[in-house]
Chain A
């Protein structure tokens, strides 16, 4: 099949906050022709669908609604000279830096000197969580719910149960209320909510939506439409909750297909491509940014990190974009109950790697974090209380001590 060749300097895949920030930084860094390929109808990413406030504090220094925040980043990128192509999807690779794209201009072969993957993350749907039961209609993820309500204006009614109690679960509460649906409760198998105290109070006290902690979803019932959820509470007893809608929220997994098709090494914690602090992957000239790398941070964190990766990619291009340069070799790995660390790939040397983001599976009260390599303790820090589904920033003042070769291990006690 014939493809029109589109030569570019940098290709960014995904026009969410991270991709737009990376593209803007690439352009500002002199990268030349920078094209962002976005498969959705509009650029802006997930915040477009979050019709509530809470965006932009850490990157744009103002409080915005999701859609306004998304527009701001699109305007910035366009003003900076970035070429954004929507309804265009990278469907595969024909070689390093060679993307196959289907879009309004037909079949393209984009040839890029540098690639930044910013494909984001999605919520694990019900099937991937192996929730047994029937397969009726009325089962959503937050992403699908938001599109249902805010984009397609499709009807919802009755009672809904929200599975999860992390930030995005509270976003689902707001969307449901906007759709006129009463959330019965948020259900989490963890010991407590994982969001900010203010959101938790506003939901429990303000909106009178309880959070059922220590509670797992063990089944769904209903033939055509869901009619009930089976939950098991902290005392071990199972009970049925009558609902018309179930929203599976959070439990993010990176959309890593293009990373894996590009044969990038995948980090076993994040399931995104293994990445350095600069977004460098195991393939020269391929960078990764945003929630593909750290599933999932708030939009402003993704944008700030995207900006940093864009600058690093521009700098790599200015240095000649050597695809044969030696690759970072040392892996950063975590031990249970830690879930992941970002960055999880580094090149030993004097350059700092900046603060790390670390996640935990369980609530941890002021744990001590220990960093070791080949049995040698590199650093040790007392951390604040760790909450699952939230990242914790850990200093990397020990990074200069890392030697080539062996993995670096992070553990808590």
Chain B
């Protein structure tokens, strides 16, 4: 395929939604391009979120989001098991801390039912303290949501992209779409790396989706960027919390939660700040202080543990309360915007829905001769038997005996694999998202230079 290329479908944006759509398109006899501005997949909102697989218990009943989250939960749980994406079914407890909040719990259970989720039940305070003994005193009521789970968000986008690429989708990284035009019946996307022609275009540009939508002549929504800052605590804090601890949500926000991560850390956050610059993923002193205050109120022992990382993500909220998915049949253009914080959970269902709608709108969907192969992702979950402790890995290749990232126990073999996989890492962050290396408590004190050197050597070899 030449740099210009001609495709049946071009998907713009390789976040969790764009990669899921590309993966879905790969099931059919279509020439598909997946265009991404960054130099890796899943680097925007997809990498900086709370990493929760939602049941959708608190979505707006009757909304598209409600049905896609519910379907997505099922699809993603099953996909994660097959692909080896770390997923832990920790369940969640939603905790009320005053009388007014406690009074809303029945309404929350009823809303869950209206969303088709039947397993949310009131939990008594004794049960709560048995389950979460380190929680602060003073809870006034709780609801158990047993099917909320935690997942590795990084592996998810990478797995979708790897599957898509394996099935023939052309992934183009570092490609910025600068203009949109027509040539006969085709779209011509002017990009930083030459024009791309496609009969159909899918806008999965996340935080950029409204601006791109305007280039296609539509004006359905505006991204109102909302930043969420989060604090990741040391693994030694992991014993302090066993499930996702949710607050009673308000109109504006789902509030600050405490959750384990699949890597064995504890997450505290997010904040919810309306900001002007949709690319501003900086943390702030006020934001972090506010989170620590919240942490002290929720789980007092937590704030005595070391902080491993802080980060911020920007959610693609809009002025609407639902996802903004529109298939413009006459234009052969699908806009998949306004995918808010539930996008990770719903990704596979969104893809299924969007591709089905595109089919209904005239895209020819003929099943490919071969079904795409679901890739097997490296074991990143703390619960899994990881390479450094596995006979199988260590026996097969001595490179898995050499631990290079001490905090996260990542071996030389895993780093090598991340640099040479179907969708390889192209920077240190990319290695981290594929292996956990440099993401641990020392933040590269021990392995940062080693990983950078391995990356530089690999990039030099690829260039040659």
Q: Enumerate chain A interface residues (CB-CB to B < 8 A).
A: 1-2, 39-40, 87, 89, 91, 100, 102-107, 122-128, 130, 132-135, 137, 140-141, 143-144, 147-148, 151-152, 154, 218-219, 221, 223, 253, 257, 260
Interchain CB contact under 8 A, A102 and B456: no
Complex-state Cα separation, A102 to B402, whole angstroms:
8
Contact of B385 among A1, A125, A221 (CB under 8 A): A1
Interchain CB contact under 8 A, B283 and A102: no
Question: B374 at the A/B interface (Cβ < 8 Å)?
Answer: no
Interchain CB contact under 8 A, B306 and A253: yes
Residues of B434-464 whose CB lies within 8 A of A = 441-446, 448-450, 452-453, 456
Complex-state Cα separation, A377 to B196, whole angstroms:
82
Contact with A along B20-56 (1 / 0, CB 8 A): 0000000000000000000000000000000000000
- Which of B385, B403, B448 lies at the interface centre, i.e. has the most chain A CB atoms within 10 A of its CB? B448
Interchain CB contact under 8 A, B288 and A107: no
Interface of B is mostly: mixed
Residues of B306-359 whose CB lies within 8 A of A = 306-311
Residues of A within 8 A of B281 (CB): 134-135
Contact of B401 among A40, A104, A134, A137 (CB under 8 A): A104
Contact of A144 among B285, B390, B441, B448 (CB under 8 A): B448
* Minimal beta-carbon separation of B3 from chain A (angstroms): 24
Question: B391 at the A/B interface (Cβ < 8 Å)?
Answer: yes
* Minimal beta-carbon separation of A274 from chain B (angstroms): 16
> Given A1-B390, A102-B403: A154 and B453 within 8 A (CB)?
yes
Interface of A is mostly: mixed
Residues of A within 8 A of B284 (CB): 132
Complex-state Cα separation, A140 to B447, whole angstroms:
11
Q: Enumerate chain B interface residues (CB-CB to A < 8 A).
A: 232, 235-236, 279, 281-285, 287-288, 292, 306-311, 385, 388-391, 394-395, 398, 401-403, 406, 409, 428, 441-446, 448-450, 452-453, 456
Complex-state Cα separation, A127 to B448, whole angstroms:
15
* Minimal beta-carbon separation of B160 from chain A (angstroms): 24
Interchain CB contact under 8 A, A39 and B403: yes
Contact of B449 among A2, A152, A219, A257 (CB under 8 A): A152
Can you report 29 A-B residue pairs in the complex whose CB atoms are below 8 A from each other? A1-B390, A1-B391, A40-B446, A87-B403, A102-B389, A102-B401, A106-B394, A106-B395, A107-B389, A122-B445, A122-B446, A125-B444, A127-B308, A127-B309, A128-B308, A130-B310, A132-B283, A135-B311, A141-B443, A143-B442, A143-B445, A144-B446, A147-B448, A148-B448, A148-B452, A151-B450, A152-B449, A253-B306, A260-B236
Residue of B nearest to A92 (CB): B389
Residue of A nearest to B428 (CB): A137
Complex-state Cα separation, A124 to B310, whole angstroms:
13
Residue of B nearest to A266 (CB): B236
Residues of B within 8 A of A135 (CB): 281-282, 311
Interchain CB contact under 8 A, B428 and A141: no
Residues of A within 8 A of B443 (CB): 125-128, 141
Residues of B within 8 A of A1 (CB): 385, 389-391
> Given A106-B394, A132-B283, A144-B448: A154 and B403 within 8 A (CB)?
no
Residues of B within 8 A of A87 (CB): 401-403
Residue of B nearest to A103 (CB): B401
Residues of A within 8 A of B307 (CB): 127-128, 130
Interchain CB contact under 8 A, A107 and B448: no
* Minimal beta-carbon separation of A227 from chain B (angstroms): 12
Complex-state Cα separation, A387 to B284, whole angstroms:
31
* Minimal beta-carbon separation of B77 from chain A (angstroms): 27
15 further contact pairs, Cβ within 8 A, besides A1-B389, A133-B283, A144-B449: A2-B391, A102-B394, A102-B409, A106-B394, A106-B395, A123-B445, A125-B443, A127-B308, A132-B282, A132-B283, A132-B310, A143-B446, A148-B449, A154-B453, A221-B282
* Minimal beta-carbon separation of B304 from chain A (angstroms): 9
* Minimal beta-carbon separation of A2 from chain B (angstroms): 6
Residues of A within 8 A of B442 (CB): 122, 125, 141, 143
Complex-state Cα separation, A107 to B388, whole angstroms:
8
Interchain CB contact under 8 A, B308 and A257: no
Residue of B nearest to A129 (CB): B307
Residue of A nearest to B412 (CB): A87
* Minimal beta-carbon separation of B314 from chain A (angstroms): 12
Residues of A within 8 A of B445 (CB): 122-123, 125, 141, 143-144
> Given A104-B401, A133-B283: A152 and B452 within 8 A (CB)?
yes
Interchain CB contact under 8 A, A130 and B452: no
Residues of B within 8 A of A154 (CB): 449, 452-453, 456
Interchain CB contact under 8 A, B308 and A89: no
Complex-state Cα separation, A123 to B441, whole angstroms:
10
Residues of B within 8 A of A144 (CB): 444-446, 448-449
Complex-state Cα separation, A372 to B409, whole angstroms:
44
Residues of A within 8 A of B391 (CB): 1-2, 106-107
Residues of B within 8 A of A123 (CB): 445
